[in-house]
Structure 1
Amino acid sequence: MNDVLVVRDLTRSFTQGTETVHVLRGVDLDVAAGEIVALLGPSGSGKSTLLQAVGLLEGGFGGSIRILGEEAARLDNDARTRLRRDRIGFVYQFHHLLPDFSALENVVLPQLIRDTPPAEAEQRAAALLGALGLQHRLGHRPAKLSGGEQQRVAVARALANRPALVLADEPTGNLDEATADMVFDAFLAAVREQNAAALVATHNERLATRMDRVLRLHEGRLHDAAAPAKAV
């Protein structure tokens, strides 16, 4: 398979007073192009920590993270920033849209940062938002959009630069069930249309079963959710 993400022996520890807390204890993970992987685990299990590592959002991790064959540990800050900007898309539980910008402008902006010509960026943003059912809401600011609409704008923004890897941290966690289903349908369709690799952290086991593979983070290690996690 064409692996976009390859993680080997990933570790992360934090010091709390005199105690060392081991959050990740040697995580191995492969995600291929076109594959959507669910990451299950209770609050505090390290799901967000794992996504932060894979998304190159902070340091302090041991082990290897390779994205499209590039070893993150070997990149300087500028190269890591470019890789994160050009190859990774993020969707969070809370949309974090810019309140003074319209839906269209929120999706245009990351493309302009990547030096996409404005006309091309607007065309791409309008097409993405239209595919997500927001063609009549392009000029609305976030305050004028429903929660589900705001989250669909966030999905469009994450996909604007055609990332090879999409990371989503509880993308429907603050939505009611019906709205969550609608947003998740749109998310799956948009990610699959781009043949991106995706890693989705969620508490929702029902939604997890709709993805291609389900993993569970337990005591700092990943396990196939089809088999019970063993204590280590």
Structure 2
Amino acid sequence: MNDVVRLSGLTRSFEQGGVRIDVLRGVDLTIRPGEIVALLGPSGSGKSTLLQAVGLLEGGFGGQIVIAGKDASNIDAAQRTTMRREHLGFVYQFHHLLPDFSALENVVLPQLVRGTDRSECDKRARELLVALGLEHRLDHRPSQLSGGEQQRVAVARALANRPELVLADEPTGNLDEATADRVLAQFLELVRGQGSAALVATHNERLAMRMDRFVRLHDGVLEEGSVGGFPPM
């Protein structure tokens, strides 16, 4: 079985004020099917840049990016869009829900885009939202939901198409501690339950300890080890 993700020598640089900034300086990473990996690092360390690379959200990266056995290093924008739709799901710190659509509709829409039958879309969306404790909020729009409820809808949306890999960028960073714990627990349970892999960027080592493996982005490269074994951020 192919690895879900394989990064080899990944690099990314930017020019700022005439100065070259090397954000990623040769990142190597492999994620196996069903594995949940915490990506640790302080703000500004390049976690979001790394997720953008794995998520095929932009070009400009050096090195090799392989997603679900397919080399995505030099594909064009249309091919990146297809690969995202077929293999990936996304959860961000801010939910980015469509404000004019209900919770149910927000989870139905990505399935429709993929070409799934409408009745199947509705069934899948309801199952996920009920599993996340939102059975009484299906017809509410984002503005009518609490922050924790909005993020749970975002989790359901990310999982709707049963992606092989879920990318989460500080998915509970905008929530209070108790709500963050609850949302993360539900997220991990659902991801594991459907057999997806996940790469979860966080600066919170306590939350990272609930995942299968930990890597830390430091000075543009990845370090592996236990949470307690890393030097302080």
Fold match by TM threshold 0.5: yes
Q: CA 1:136/1:228 → structure 2, altered by over 3 Å: closer, same or farther?
A: closer
Q: What is the SS of the residue equivalent to 1:109?
A: helix
Deviations 1:5-53 (A, max 9, x none): 0110000000112210000000000111111000110111000000000
Deviation at 1:2, TM superposition (A): 4.7
Partner of 2:51: 51
Code of the residue aligned with 1:13 in structure 2: it is S
Deviation at 1:74, TM superposition (A): 4.2
Deviations 1:135-169 (A, max 9, x none): 11111111111111100000000011110010000
Deviations 1:95-149 (A, max 9, x none): 0101110000000000111111111101110011111111111111111111111
2:146 corresponds to 1:146: yes
In structure 1, the gaps of 5 or more residues are: none
2:25 corresponds to 1:25: yes
1:104-119 to 2 correspondence within 5 Å? 104-119=104-119
User: What's the TM-score once normalised by structure 2's chain length?
Assistant: 0.95
Structure-2 separation of matches of 1:160 and 1:203: 26
Asked if 1 retains the 8 angstrom alpha-carbon contact of 2:2 and 2:69, the reply is no
Partner of 2:35: 35
Q: CA 1:71/1:222 → structure 2, altered by over 3 Å: closer, same or farther?
A: same
Structure-2 separation of matches of 1:94 and 1:14: 25
Partner of 2:11: 11
Q: What is the SS of the residue equivalent to 1:184?
A: helix
1:1-232 to 2 correspondence within 5 Å? 2-226=2-226, 227-228=229-230
Structure-2 separation of matches of 1:163 and 1:212: 18
Instruction: Count residues in correspondence.
Output: 229
Q: What is the SS of the residue equivalent to 1:15?
A: strand
Deviations 1:191-218 (A, max 9, x none): 1011111000001110000100011100
User: What's the TM-score once normalised by structure 1's chain length?
Assistant: 0.96
Percent identity between matched residues is 70
Structure-1 separation of matches of 2:178 and 2:139: 25
Deviations 1:65-116 (A, max 9, x none): 1011100024333222111012100000000101110000000000111111
Deviation at 1:228, TM superposition (A): 4.0
